[in-house]
Structure 1
Amino acid sequence: MTLDSVPTQAAALAVLELLAKEAPASAYDELAASTRRLGASEAELEELRSALELGLAVRAQLGRRQQREAGLSALVDTARDLTLPYDLDTLLKVITRRARLLLNLDMAYISFHDDEAGDSYVRTADGHATALTVGFRVPREGGLGSAARQNTAPFWTHDYMADDRITHHPVIDDVVRAEGLHAILAVPLRHRETSFGVLYSADRDVRHFTPGEIALMSSLGDLATVAIEKARLFNQARLDIADLEQYGARAKSELAAAHRVNGIHRRMIDLLLEGSGLGALTELAAESLGGTVAVLDLGSRTLAATGDLPAADLAGVAGATLEAQVAQEPIQLTDTGWLAPVTAGTERLGSLLLHATDALSPAELELLQLTAGTTGVLLLMQRNTAVAESQVRDEFFDALLSPAQRPLPQLRDRARSLGLDLERAYTAVVIRPEGGSQGRAVVWASSYALRFGGLSRVRGGCIVLLLPSEDPGTTARQISRELTPLLGHPVTVGAAGPSTRIEDIEPTYAEAVRCLNALSALGGSGSTASARELGFLGLLLGDRHSVGDYITHAIGPVIDYDTHRFTNLVQTLEAYFQSGSSPTYAAESLHVHPNTVSRRLERITALLGEDWQDPSRALEVQLALRLHRTRETLDPAAGEEVPGRP
């Protein structure tokens, strides 16, 4: 029906019809005006007004219900949206956008508390803003956020700057003015009993928030709190998973490195069991660690090395060895230089040096320490073996130095079993320390003999060495230079040789003893000399005089040549010296041609050496000739004896 045809008595029915059609508010005004035009009575108009008021009330209530349903629907959509697996920043953007659209406001933003700084900061914002940007610091005291935190409930204002309930802060007021904000609603974000932030919704117009809108924003705040905590837990779980993955990868890598270190260590142990030496061990260590490896003894002398070490790595070895010993672990000398102590229990045996090509990992440092420990075991094994072998070598050396020697074949067999080639040239050295304890000298002599493939023994209070050498004088001086600083006091050294036969070792040793005695008789304690350097002085001043040894040393080859070839080289030598070293006059006294004398002298030079005519050597040769001739005069049978026999 039309409004014009509605009778006044049907006003209530008309209002119901408008409600059923969900007519706008203007339709109710038209119904009242139409009723007045029809000339309704005052009672009828009053009845109509009552009906219209009830109708408008019902319409408003229906509107609020629809609005609440729409808000709840939007809130449900928001809750569903917040269940998606966002990271924290994305989630906060979703919350602020939903808050702004939920109440159709101009902007929304979230601030988080910073307890260390004593204020809050804007974490995210939605809507057009110039001052309220991400990172803006919000003072803790003042503003709606402070009131919301203190009351643990939403706090709102229809016009911020005109509201006296709010504790104003200059910084916050400046931002509100800059943004042109009026109506602001603040909802605290609380997890359990702790407030961690505030959700703000703001409008640039003066607006009174209804209880439904406040309840809606409060519900959104609760949903946001749950979502934020979920996102935080999700992020923390993701970080924990990443840490676990990283830890697992690191543990896998460390386990692989540990397996590699154990494998290399097993190979080192196998080398020890196979009887390999320091060379093989250092080669394996250098290959495994990637660099140059050297093993040094306590005197910083190199026992084995895979190459040359830089001078910078060697410079600090002396001081660093003790430090590494105390620390019981490798220490770094330079950027690429490392030193590890080589020990056996509490006993220091030396040090292991590494010049690495790259920085060492923890596993490589462990391998370096294991290598040092394996080296200590090897050195200890070698020392124990050397001690056991030294007893056998000492007994064999005693047999060589005894005048009543065992059968030569037996001595040769024992020499071969000890790895000695006594058919080569050997020098006998007798050492007498001039003061202090003899113990250190004995230990040094044993090590020195092993180093050069010789023998050592203590006899008659002196140290006796038999060393591969063809120059007794040089060998004696070298021993004195090395041993004197070690003992801290001088040593007297006598040397003789070389001898190339087993049966000549005992006489050579006796000659070295005479050299030592001659040095003492001449007041030369602390000096060195060989039999060749002393010449006939050794014969005159020695405690045991051996004319035969002296004759053998000086002209033995010439006498042997005459004996086996029936020549007259000894007679030619005598005539040569008696004629004033003139081959011509010697030829006249011998009744031979001068060329014959010249050829004989060439043969003598080949037997005695180029220096036999030097003044000092010539004097010894002449003395030997005189002694030889005297022995033949006194005892004709002496000339038939083996040269060298006293």
Structure 2
Amino acid sequence: MGAMEPLLRAVMAEEDPARLEGAIAAARGSLDEADARTLRALQQRLAQGARREELLRTVSSIAVDVTTRRDVVGVLHEIVRRTRLLTGADMAYIALNTADTTFIRESDGVRTEEYRTLRMPIGYGVLGRAATGRAIVTTADYLEDAALSHIEEIDDIVRGEGVRSILAVPMTLREQVHGALLIADRTSREYPPETVDIVDTLSRHASVALDNARRFEEVTGALASLSAQQDEDEERMVELHEILDLDAGLLEALLDGGDLEVLARRVHELLGADLALLDAGGVPMVETDPGARLAVGLDGEALRAARGTGKPAVSGGTTLACASSGREHLGTLVVGRALAPRLLPRVQRVAVFFGILLLLGRAQQDDRRRRDRAVIDALVRGGREVDTVRGDARVRAVRPGTGVRMVAIDVFDADVGPLADRLRAGTAHDGAVVALHGDHLCVLVPDAAADALSALLDVAGSGVNAGWSSPVEDLARIPAAHRSAELALRSLAVLGVRGRSADGERIGMVGLMAEAIHRDPTLPSPLLVLRPLEDYDREHGTELTRSAWAFAESGRHVPRAAQMLHVHPNTVRQRLERIAGLLGEDWRAPARFLDLHFALRMWSLGREEAGG
């Protein structure tokens, strides 16, 4: 027992394994191998117990934090921070689910902003697969793991962060999956069962703790409201009910997807006054009574005061309140009467919700842009890329009987963003997809909504060219449809026209020639053969070029060409003689006429005859 006694004391003191091995080696002469193994096993079990005790302390600490701290963000950060410390991982993060995606809500140890704000479709990658709640997901080398569904854009973000190993555990609340708790490392690592158990335990306890925190906040808020109602007189009771009605209206607008008209209508009902919601530039977004013209002649000094102090300002017969995010001015709320001081906090409350709705709309718009670009890029590339966006409802809508068109749009040197937003808003209910692709704007639009898109492009003015494909009913044909629309657009560019549209299926070989010229501007233009006719028309105010086009398109049939031109056949014959005098008597010879007809078809693309 003499040799065992100091060793037992070392084990009970939880000395590190290296020191214990040294003590065993020093006492080797006094211990047999069985005693040494017994001591090692005892020391390992004590160490495991210590780690389990540390885990329980962490879980208890998280529960205490949740029940004592009111800010959910702080609680989430504390959970990921302690998870990272307890597992020794390079980073830890919590992801929360939306309807079809999961996104990182809070993280610790992440270096890049792209990874910190990562958003992943449900079912893809480690994060997306864990978000389904089916099982714990782990990988020792994410980028090389063929068992996972990869998305190229996400892989680039993971590569930029340097992540290799990931462990993800689903978080469930009342049998519903709300997200996942994850750890990750920048080296290849096989996570042992002990680490998996730690993250699993923290995930389950954190889920329960968060649920309890939300319940605690609800109960505390209800008790506070009840206490206030009991302490206030009848006038205060009426005021509280009005505030609750206001909050209900504001929440209705928020839950209605950020509908500013719902917000304006409810505030108008509760305040009994007309109002206008203006964007940051002072342009009305919603007005309960456009005839009131509340946005005209705003008091600049009052507006600066409202922006500078963050509080409503009363000027003459109006009340102003600003919606802000940090130092950014998002918009202005204008109420059509001077409100009493006791009502100003309500107006500011409305302005806060107005700002939230503007930020929500901005986030939704940004998300729509990203989704649209991913859809367009995947469909144009075709093949297996389509699988990455197949879950999008607009992609699922492409099936036999519901054709779609691909439209390629060139806005030249104009800002493509505003036009894309207008087209996206104008075709949103039709399920169109609008995104910048290469050097042009692409729109995937249902054939039934093609006229609506044409009308929007007409409103855009003469600075927009559009190339259209024919309707397709199969995802596999969309790359070819895009190619057709692109050829039409290139043809218009080579002709140097603006404000025109062309059908890729109808331009035929003209499109191929136009694309060749677009790629190599040094190639001679087929239009050169028409220069004598165009020069003559310009100098004499005649229509010889158009008459040659009608003659060619009618199959060299004079009466039919006359109908197309709305003139007498003799007039056509006289013009043909004039054309022969300019081009030569052999202009109708088959080989030369073929070149001439090709040039006339290209010429017609840039004019009203393009649709003829």
TM-score bracket, shorter-length normalisation: 0.3 to 0.5
Q: Highest Rg: 1 or 2?
A: 1
Q: TM-score scaled to structure 1, two decimals?
A: 0.37
TM-score by length of 2: 0.39
